[in-house]
């Protein structure tokens, strides 16, 4: 009789703990997916393609390649925006990069426009085809080949 009561009590306690765990930990969508939905809703012509590992690939008429990289454990940055366009970027490309960076990193669009344009315009004969700079707590790395120009914008985890 006593062992039966102990077993029943243990089952009730286990069921109560399981119920509390399921109630306190609601199912949440991935933060990266939420950012991608905000980007698609906030920028005209932007479409979310697919997600592979921790990268969401996006498409827009002003960019040849566009992706949003999300942080995994152990990485030194929070999120990363990567955009590739023509060697001489168009004003639409600057606007796209600035709008996306403003949404991802919650910085004003004016600041991201200034930072992206400074980074992309510094590449040339005197400074070379790879520029690394920091603007408004954002790390920007611009690279250029014979046909393309690309920018990668990240923010360190601790900021």
Q: What is the pLDDT of residues 51-91, one digit of tens each?
A: 887 889 999 998 999 999 887 655 656 788 999 999 888 99
Q: What is the pLDDT of residues 7-21, one digit of tens each?
A: 666 666 565 565 544
Q: Contact, 153 vs 105, CB < 8 A?
A: yes
Q: What is the pLDDT of residues 89-126, one digit of tens each?
A: 899 999 999 999 999 988 899 999 999 899 888 887 77
pTM for this model (two decimals): 0.75
From CA 45, how far away is CA 58, in angstroms rounded? 10
26: pLDDT confidence band, cut at 50, 70 and 90? very low
From CA 100, how far away is CA 86, in angstroms rounded? 18
* Closest by CA position to 31, among listed 23, 43, 39: 39
């Amino acid at each position: 009789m006593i062992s039966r009561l102990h077993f029943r009590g243990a089952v009730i306690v286990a069921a109560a703990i399981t119920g509390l765990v399921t109630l306190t930990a609601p199912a949440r969508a991935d933060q990266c997916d939420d950012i991608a939905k905000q980007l698609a809703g906030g920028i005209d012509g932007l479409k979310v393609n697919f997600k592979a590992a921790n990268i969401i690939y996006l498409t827009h008429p002003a960019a040849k390649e566009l992706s949003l990289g999300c942080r995994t454990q152990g990485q030194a940055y929070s999120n990363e925006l990567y955009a590739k366009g023509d060697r001489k970027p168009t004003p639409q490309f600057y606007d796209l990069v600035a709008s996306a960076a403003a949404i991802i990193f919650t910085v004003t669009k004016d600041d991201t426009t200034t930072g992206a344009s400074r980074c992309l315009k510094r590449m040339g004969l005197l400074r070379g085809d790879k520029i690394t700079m920091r603007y408004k707590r954002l790390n920007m790395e611009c690279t250029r080949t014979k046909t393309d120009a690309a920018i990668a914008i990240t923010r360190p985890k601790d900021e």
